[in-house]
Amino acid sequence: MKTPRVTANRIDEYLSSGKRFDGRKLNEFREISIETGISKKAEGSARVRIGKTEVLVGIKMDVAAPYPDSPNKGNLMVTSELLPLSSSRFESGPPKFPAIELGRLIDRAIRESKFVDFEKLCIKEGEKVWSIFVDIYSINADGNLVDAAGIGALAALKTAKFPKYDEETGKVIYDEHTDVSVPLSKEIPIVTTIYKIGKSLIVDPTQEEEDACEARVVIGGTAEGTIFSMQKGDAKEISIEEMNKVLELSKESKKNVFSKIEKFLK
């Protein structure tokens, strides 16, 4: 059941006095933990926990034809599945709006940042390129899936190794992995979301807080402040002054997140 309105009012009231239900500050994240290499079959994988929220991210690679408008560039495909086991709100079946949105948010941040060097994924121009599939699965949904998925995608891409490719037969040998990592740039796109509840702006909400939120801005960018992608969600408006605060808070939280995940990205 979604957080009732009475509870949401209480959350808002408490936030106005600068406090959150779980005792965190408004700009404070829950504990982030990352495990990489959790899947033997995937080319790269990661499990990310933010508080009780947990996501799995896997990378699979295949050789395919490039898109006609980018004959010398590899392909990227980010999909997400919100599994019914992770929350009573998710049903099995074709992906619905939240799952599609999650995939696209992460996709856009990675693509626009040029984090993956797509030109190096080209095998033969116009004919064969590597395709990277990033699959996101929610294991437990307790708010802020987007940020968790973003961190997971980075960690999984970082650890991903190319499978062997047989040039003659044109087949990918998945049983054997090479030592070659996915070509990545230094521009690391960190996805953080700023949520607005009443007049307060917070990061990393729990499910309870996420239900109470009236607007959110998802921003993909580096810890230095470069912004690659941005999307506003939910019904309420955000004023210009608030937007400046959002950008400030977003930069601050990106630095914060980066310092926590830095060691997994080296």
- How far apart CA 111 and CA 123 sit, in angstroms, is 19
Find the shortest distance in angstroms from Cβ 84 to other proteins. Answer: 14
**126 lies in the site for other proteins, by CB under 8 A:** no
**128 lies in the site for other proteins, by CB under 8 A:** no
Alpha helices in 17-144 (DSSP H): 97-113
**214 lies in the site for other proteins, by CB under 8 A:** no
Q: Which residues contact 103 (CB under 8 A, 6 or more apart)?
A: 78, 79, 80, 95, 136
**14 lies in the site for other proteins, by CB under 8 A:** yes
Instruction: Taking each helix axis as running N to C, give the angle between helix 240-261 and helix 145-159, from 0 to 180 degrees, rounded to the nearest 10.
Output: 40
**CB closer to other proteins out of 4 and 126:** 4
Contact status, residue 78 vs residue 104, Cβ threshold 8 Å: yes
**CB closer to other proteins out of 5 and 124:** 5
3-state secondary structure of 223: coil
- How far apart CA 243 and CA 249 sit, in angstroms, is 10
Stretch that binds other proteins, among 5-13, 41-49, 109-117, 152-160 (CB under 8 A): 5-13
Residues near other proteins (CB under 8 A), total: 9
User: Considering only residues 81-110, where is the footprint of other proteins by CB under 8 A?
Assistant: none
Contact status, residue 37 vs residue 45, Cβ threshold 8 Å: yes
Find the shortest distance in angstroms from Cβ 210 to other proteins. Answer: 15
**1 lies in the site for other proteins, by CB under 8 A:** yes
DSSP β-ladder status, 227-233 and 215-221: antiparallel
User: Which residue of 21, 85, 124, 125 would you call a contact of other proteins, by CB under 8 A?
Assistant: 21
Binding residues vs other proteins (CB under 8 A): 1, 4-7, 10, 13-14, 21
